[in-house]
Amino acid sequence: MNTAQIAIATFVFILLSVFWRLLNQRSAGSAAATRPRPAPSMPRACNQADVRQLLHQMSESMRARLHDAGMALELKLPADPLPVLLDRSGMQEVIAHIVELACRTMMAGSTLHVLGRLDGTQAVVNFMDCAPGTDEPRLARCFDAASAQRARPRGDCESIASVALCAQIVGEHRGRIYAAPSPLGRLGITLRLPLQGLGARAAPVRL
């Protein structure tokens, strides 16, 4: 083999090597593009807050929205603070969704009872509907049904989306939201959030 033939063979070998490397890179890129990517984590900026203050601040807007739907609001809160770590806008969104769910499901003339309380190391808020002449807990049953259908959406998609968003936001606060009997004996929506330390009960709280 003369020098010219050796040069041509070397050139062809280099071209084939480059082509093979590019082909492997493209295949790897395609596989990465089709691989499902995890949802980006969006940590919430949580500050120490008193759940009572948040509910008091939202009471007028809650009352006005329920009044438009022919319903009333009864708010009962403890004398002692309920200090938690929360993202104020996120928790406002949760409460607003519950009120909207109440307006869509409760009977006209009903009252939405909101009860704040301390339960061990948790701040608890119960949302219960009371309708004249009936003990049917429409709000809790609708919440429970929408929660059960989150994996297979059907029926009232708006309620399912609201419940899913509430569960997501509350979960980001290391809390829980679910349908359960309240201390008043009625089935309602229970929202639980961890207290911000035992010492936080005696400390001043702010929003």
**174 touches 186 (CB < 8 A):** no
The percent of residues above 70 in pLDDT, for the chain, comes to 69
Nearest to 171 by CA among 140, 197, 194: 194
Q: Which one is predicted more confidently, 42 or 98?
A: 98
Q: Going by C-beta distance under 8 Å and a sequence separation of 6 or more, which residues neighbour residue 155?
A: 145, 146, 149
DSSP readout, 45-95? --EEEEHHHHHHHHHHHHHHHHHHTT-EEEEE--SS--EEEE-HHHHHHHH
Residue 17 CA to its chain's centroid (Å): 53
Q: What is the pLDDT of residue 197?
A: 65
b/e code 172-185 from CB counts within 10 Å (16+ = b): bbebbbebeebeee
Task: Specify the pLDDT at position 21.
Answer: 57
Of 148 and 106, the structure prediction assigns the larger pLDDT to: 106
* 130-181 pLDDT, tens digit each: 877 667 788 988 888 888 875 554 556 788 888 999 999 999 999 999 999 8
Burial class (CB in 10 A: 0-12, 13-18, 19+), 106: buried
CA-wise closest residue to 110 among 64, 72, 162: 72
Of the ranges 32-46, 81-95, 148-162, the best mean pLDDT one: 81-95
Task: Confirm if 201 and 207 have CB atoms less than 8 A apart.
Answer: no
Decide the pairing of beta strands 111-119 and 122-130: antiparallel
Distance CA 76, CA 126 (A): 10
Q: Does the pLDDT at position 14 exceed 90?
A: no
Nearest Cα neighbor of 137 from 161, 105, 97, 166 is 105
Average pLDDT value over all residues in the chain = 78
Q: Which has more pLDDT, 102 or 30? A: 102
Confidence of residue 33 (pLDDT cuts 50, 70, 90): very low
Residue 6 CA to its chain's centroid (Å): 69
Q: Is the CB of residue 105 less than 8 Å from the CB of residue 140?
A: no
How would residue 26 be classed by pLDDT, with cut points 50, 70 and 90? Answer: very low
